[in-house]
Amino acid sequence: MTETLTYINNFLKYIKLQRGDSPHTLRAYKNDLKEFFNFANLEPKQIDSMIIRGFISEQILKGKAKTTVSRKLSTIRSFFAYLYNEGIIKINPARVVSSLKIKRKIPKFLTVDDAFKLVEAPSEDKFTIQRDRAILELLYGCGIRVSELCGLNLEDIDLKEGLIKVRGKGNKERIIPAGQKAKEAIKKYLAIRQILRIKKNFHDQETPLFINNRGNRLSDRQIRRIVEKYAKVVGVLEKIGPHTLRHTFASHLLMEGADLRVIQELLGHSSLSTTQIYTHIDLKHLIEIYDKSHPLTKEDI
């Protein structure tokens, strides 16, 4: 397995350089590949398509979710494509393995009332409270990914113009607008952040926008906990995370008549087909309104 581990590590370095994937994603790739090669108990050059199919079948028999198994297959495909392109293997065995058919789920999103309650929950004049308010305002008001939020630096924020420079997947940069409430929340947070910085004498080697009490950049896990914390405070019963606010942002824009291509640009989707999932959400919303409002849907007519 020593040779295999070398290939895996080189593959992870390659995709980090090419695509700029987050540490969390790279960890998932590594775990997927280790699990596959523990199952196969062979070196990459000895793998054929039957072994890959056998691994996929075992995963399904174990009761793993189709989305999880599909992700593992995607990892295996990317890995063997890398080995083939590097000339390490002569035949790519993953090319002939069929994809799983997965019914696409409609993303979960909050109502306008719940979204407002959540964002407005942090209201005290304290460092962490003002920071959390700014985080929630950006997640809902701009629809950015949690990894993009974590990566924001002070110089990425232009409060005068109301613009934010975001680094998305593959380190692709895009400029997105910040609404008035988001600007106000960031402004209040920056003022109290500066007081804390002077008081604790932070010497930042970099300038992360969102920090903890020790001056360190917040991780995506910490931001997830912040969202979960305030969801409980305002009584949102379903489990939600930062991505729920991203879905909520897109869904609410579509409901208000925003063009799908504008939403695509704001979300940083490379393909319009990814953004089109929100048209199903809007259709569901319209059906609900119809069922509640149209006279022919009433039973006692």
pLDDT digits (tens, 9 = 90+) for 175-212: 999 989 999 999 999 999 888 887 777 665 568 999 99
105 vs 98: which has the higher pLDDT: 98
Q: Which residues pair with 174 in a beta bridge?
A: 166
Q: Of 193, 162, 186, nearest to 176 (Cα)? A: 162
- Any idea where the domains of the chain sit in the sequence? 2-96, 112-290
Question: Active-site residue among 131, 246, 247, 252?
Answer: 246
8 A C-beta contact, residue 88 and residue 43: no
Task: Give the pLDDT score at 55.
Answer: 94
Question: Active-site residue among 169, 181, 217, 224?
Answer: 169
The reply to whether 246 belongs to the active site is yes
Task: Give the pLDDT score at 138.
Answer: 95
The reply to whether 140 belongs to the active site is no
Task: Give the pLDDT score at 121.
Answer: 92
* Region 56-72 average pLDDT: 90
* Region 66-95 average pLDDT: 93
pLDDT in tens, 131-179: 999 999 999 999 999 999 999 999 999 999 999 999 887 778 899 999 8
Q: Which CATH class is domain 2-96?
A: mainly alpha
**The pLDDT of residue 118 is above 70:** yes
Task: Give the pLDDT score at 100.
Answer: 80
pLDDT-derived band at 301 (thresholds 50, 70, 90) equals very low
**The pLDDT of residue 258 is above 80:** yes
* Region 118-134 average pLDDT: 91
21 vs 56: which has the higher pLDDT: 56
Q: Length of the chain, please? A: 301
The reply to whether 243 belongs to the active site is yes
290 vs 301: which has the higher pLDDT: 290
The reply to whether 269 belongs to the active site is yes
- Mean of all residue pLDDT scores within the chain: 86
Question: Active-site residue among 131, 145, 193, 247?
Answer: 145
Which fold does the domain 112-290 belong to in CATH? hpI Integrase; Chain A (1.10.443)
Task: Give the pLDDT score at 286.
Answer: 56
**The pLDDT of residue 231 is above 70:** yes
Task: Give the pLDDT score at 79.
Answer: 95
275 vs 31: which has the higher pLDDT: 31
Question: Active-site residue among 108, 165, 243, 285?
Answer: 243
Task: Give the pLDDT score at 205.
Answer: 57
8 A C-beta contact, residue 182 and residue 136: no
Q: 115-119, 197-201, 242-246: lowest mean pLDDT where?
A: 197-201
Task: Give the pLDDT score at 229.
Answer: 94
**The pLDDT of residue 282 is above 70:** no
pLDDT-derived band at 238 (thresholds 50, 70, 90) equals confident
**Helix/strand/coil (H, E, C) string of the chain?**
CHHHHHHHHHHHHHHHHHHCCCHHHHHHHHHHHHHHHHHHCCCHHHCCHHHHHHHHHHHHHCCCCHHHHHHHHHHHHHHHHHHHHCCCCCCCHHHHCCCCCCCCCCCCCCCHHHHHHHHHCCCCCCHHHHHHHHHHHHHHHHCCCHHHHHCCEHHHEECCCCEEEEECHHHCEEEEECCHHHHHHHHHHHHHHHHHHHHHCCCCCCCECCECCCCCECCHHHHHHHHHHHHHHCCCCCCCCHHHHHHHHHHHHHHCCCCHHHHHHHHCCCCHHHHCHHHHHHHHHHHHHHHHHCHHHCCCC
Task: Give the pLDDT score at 119.
Answer: 93
